[in-house]
Structure 1
Amino acid sequence: MWVSELLGPGCSSVGAGAFSEHGPFQPNAAGVLVHNDYSWNTEANMLYLESPAGVGFSYSANTSFYTLVNDSITAKDSLVFLQRWLVKFPEYNNRDLFITGESYAGHYVPQLAQLIVESGSNLCLKGITIGNPLLEFDTDFNAEGHFYWSHGLISDQTYHLINTICNVSQIMRESWSGNYSKPCEMVANLINAEWASSNLDGYDVTSDVCLSDGETQLGSQKQHSSLASSFHPVSSLKSVQRAPRKKEAGGESIDLCVQDDTYTYLNRKDVHEAMHAKLVGLNSSWSFCSQVMNYDEYNLEIPTIGVVGSLVGSGIQVLVYSGDQDSVIPFIGTRHLMNRLTTEVGLNTPVPYKAWFDYDKQVGWMDTSLWGEQSVVICNH
């Protein structure tokens, strides 16, 4: 099962995960579904969960539900969904279950897995996979300053100020209250002037980006969701740099505007009818991030790295992976947290840090730690 939350809580697994990343099909500019050769469903049965209610095409019959949603509600509702889904499709009852996701799924995935373990559910949970996950607020977000500086995105002076008078986690906390201190306001303005105005994609700072003028941009959807916006207030996701729609990379043709195509596709009436989807209690159009739900932003500060450790101790396999060009949840913080977890939990490291190959092509680096027969694998790519 995949839980995306690429842009923070309240954003669509179907739009981002299924149609823009690793689902079986992706829409093109002509509105035609094109087969995705790299779909995860070639390896497993995939279930993409829109959670909590109010995300994507999901909705609550009681609109008061949207008033204040949090991590606990999301985990409980996700477990109820899984249990009821298996009642409807009993042929999957005894299948191994792996819960996967990225970014804010660093909360959703471990928390749901922990609830499954503690509830004594008969779900056959075998492992979790989390990519560029938010695991500890201060460590993860304060890694951004080092990432910006090491990639030449901010000046030495601004990096010094981040490290001495106001770091990124402080800026985020003050942005929630709407009351900036003078030091943090100054640092935030410097970051915005140097990096956030650069028209780079915060999730892949070396990638080309799609030219779009409309509301279809995934970045625009992010800005329309209050919490998704606060998930990363000091960097921009504006995709306005001129770039070809198609990019050739390593022999692959990449559609740089796949989010645009997905937005257009999922707002077609015939697609709604084919999917039996309803826009109930939602705005008149489908969006990447919920525009009706109020998520408790202070849940971002709940640490989940300890939950990951407890899952390993419960016999659950864990895979943590990070793209090394992601500035939102940089691999720098993740690597620090996993090294700390290895020490605290008493994991062995039988395989030293080494190059990671896909057949004969190097795609990153990896580290493997073991607790009994269970593993924590950390990959950077």
Structure 2
Amino acid sequence: MAMAPPPPSLLRLCLALLALSSCSLSPEGRVASLPGQPESPAVSQFSGYVTVNERHGRALFYWFFEAQATPEEKPLLLWLNGGPGCSSIGYGAASELGPLRVVRQGAALEFNRYAWNKEANLLFLESPVGVGFSYTNTSSDLDTLNDDFVAEDAYSFLVNWLERFPEYKDREFYIAGESYAGHYVPQLAELVYERSKDKKGKAYINLKGFIVGNPITNDYYDSKGLAEYAWSHAVVSDDVYARIKKYCDFKISNWSDDCNAAMDIVSSQYQEIDIYNIYAPKCLLNQSSASYANRAFFVNDKEQFRRRIRMFSGYDPCYASYSEDYFNKKEVQNAFHANVRGLHPAKWHVCSDSILNSYNFSVFSVLPIYSKLIKAGLRVWLYSGDADGRVPVIGSRYCVEALRLPIKTQWQPWYLDKQVAGRFVEYYGMSMVTIRGAGHLVPLNKPDEGLALINAFLRGEQLPTHR
């Protein structure tokens, strides 16, 4: 006997529940697949825009990957790249630590078995406006960019993104980044901390800590470390280093002519190798805006040296060119929910020269933020690839030493696959880790070690101390 159809009211309820279920499983921005993406393994990913200022028409672009297993149990990790002016999608996601890497001169993607979404739900943000696909409809915004502006926009992004993805609202939250994100990360962490003191507030974010790699931290120590590293690693002569020590006062903004002349020699010597990984072969491609990343350091305007030592702190133009080839394809932009403002592909650059040139560098040091957030009980780690000449480990050690934290665990090796992977020291309040043989981009140069590092950080565990 045929069964009677359900009452209309019950049918409507079932349809409503089904729609609700579909929405929760497929929120706005889901990417089914990208051109050239391998068929397996499956990757749960989302991308799109989040408005951060309606009056100015300002929106930031993101790419989000759910954790590969049990995403409902894993924390949320935001990754930021620096520059200022470089894309966390082109570098962090597509070249370093995301699950999909651009390969074959931008022709395809490959699965990255060392992706950090093994350990966390992974969110990449193109920031500030003017970087990558992020945009503003108010051109004056691009003339007022500074660290405070970037932090406020990133905070607005987070609050609005969590409204779109409410299942992550109370999740443990961490911030990570490298290079000039050495400013972005602690500054954003400070904002989140200050505005999340009311745990019942609408804008509460469950911030637990931050981790930064080869970070720009303090102008004095970073500059001192750059010069000392160049000498101690035989890049410059004893005579040049003696002149730097005699003429350079890195505590002041305007260097003397004699100091500029000595530091210009450091620049010229680094032209012959890769300053971001001094033992790696030098990439000879010169076809993308990212090649400016290497050229910009060596411009012949001595008045701009303090600006150029910050420039694009560590980006390989070889990898940049692959990303530019890929993300400028119309079919990629369509699948990616990018370029929503026009029919023609937006010209996407891995780094923006105009952002760098107009950026207002106004913060000398973020060490006071470290002190504040360490005192607040946040987990704070700093890691450094020890083959980076641009933001070398020497400068970072000076920065950490300046915090005057009591030592918990003395400087010692840590191991991976029975080999020394680097060294670390634990203080009461933070940890510093080196990665042996890695350059500025640790997750790219040493992916296995990078994954072990983020795993230990997120779990609050010590790195392995025995073979």
Q: TM-score range by the shorter chain?
A: 0.7 to 0.9
Structure 2 residue 272 is matched with structure 1 residue 210: no
Opposite residue 261 of structure 1, the aligned amino acid is Y
Q: How does 1:340-351 map to 2 (within 5 A)?
A: 340-341=402-403, 343=404, 347-351=405-409
Unaligned runs of 5+ in 1: 175-179, 240-255
Superposition misfits of 4+ residues, deviation over 6 angstroms: 224-229, 233-239
Tell me how far apart the structure 2 counterparts of residues 139 and 27 of structure 1 sit (CA, whole Å): 35
Which residue of 2 is the match for residue 244 of structure 1? none
Q: Cα gap change, 1:264/1:309 in structure 2, threshold over 3 Å: closer, same or farther?
A: same
| Identity among equivalent pairs (%) | 33
**CA deviation after TM superposition for structure 1 residue 106, in Å:** 1.3
Equivalenced residues, count: 344
Paired residue secondary structure (2:135)? coil
The alignment's TM-score, normalised by the length of structure 2, stands at: 0.68
Structure 2 residue 126 is matched with structure 1 residue 37: no
Q: How does 1:272-351 map to 2 (within 5 A)?
A: 272-278=333-339, 285-293=347-355, 295-299=358-362, 301-341=363-403, 343=404, 347-351=405-409
Contact 2:101 2:112 in 1 (8 A): yes
Tell me how far apart the structure 1 counterparts of residues 328 and 143 of structure 2 sit (CA, whole Å): 25
Which residue of 2 is the match for residue 196 of structure 1? 270
Paired residue secondary structure (1:34)? strand
Which residue of 1 is the match for residue 39 of structure 2? none
Tell me how far apart the structure 2 counterparts of residues 159 and 197 of structure 1 sit (CA, whole Å): 17
Structure 2 residue 292 is matched with structure 1 residue 220: yes
Which residue of 2 is the match for residue 246 of structure 1? none
Tell me how far apart the structure 2 counterparts of residues 191 and 41 of structure 1 sit (CA, whole Å): 38
Contact 2:84 2:311 in 1 (8 A): no
**CA deviation after TM superposition for structure 1 residue 305, in Å:** 0.9
Paired residue secondary structure (2:278)? coil
Tell me how far apart the structure 2 counterparts of residues 43 and 237 of structure 1 sit (CA, whole Å): 25
Instruction: Name which of structure 1's ranges 283-292 and 309-318 shifts more when overlaid on structure 2.
Output: 283-292
Tell me how far apart the structure 1 counterparts of residues 311 and 148 of structure 2 sit (CA, whole Å): 27
Tell me how far apart the structure 1 counterparts of residues 184 and 358 of structure 2 sit (CA, whole Å): 13
Q: Cα gap change, 1:187/1:235 in structure 2, threshold over 3 Å: closer, same or farther?
A: farther
Tell me how far apart the structure 2 counterparts of residues 151 and 136 of structure 1 sit (CA, whole Å): 22
Instruction: Name which of structure 1's ranges 105-114 and 354-363 shifts more when overlaid on structure 2.
Output: 354-363
Structure 2 residue 231 is matched with structure 1 residue 149: yes
Paired residue secondary structure (2:431)? strand
The alignment's TM-score, normalised by the length of structure 1, stands at: 0.82
Tell me how far apart the structure 2 counterparts of residues 112 and 237 of structure 1 sit (CA, whole Å): 21
1:249-271 CA deviation, whole Å, 9 max, x = no partner? xxxxxxx9433211211111111
Contact 1:202 1:235 in 2 (8 A): no
Unaligned runs of 5+ in 2: 1-77, 197-202, 436-467
Q: Cα gap change, 1:132/1:238 in structure 2, threshold over 3 Å: closer, same or farther?
A: closer
Which residue of 2 is the match for residue 184 of structure 1? 259
Higher relative contact order structure (alpha carbons within 8 Å, sequence separation ≥ 6) = 1
Tell me how far apart the structure 1 counterparts of residues 250 and 401 of structure 2 sit (CA, whole Å): 22
Structure 2 residue 332 is matched with structure 1 residue 271: yes
Q: Cα gap change, 1:288/1:71 in structure 2, threshold over 3 Å: closer, same or farther?
A: same
Structure 2 residue 439 is matched with structure 1 residue 376: no
**CA deviation after TM superposition for structure 1 residue 228, in Å:** 11
After superposition, the CA RMSD in angstroms is 2.9
Tell me how far apart the structure 2 counterparts of residues 229 and 336 of structure 1 sit (CA, whole Å): 19
**CA deviation after TM superposition for structure 1 residue 328, in Å:** 1.2
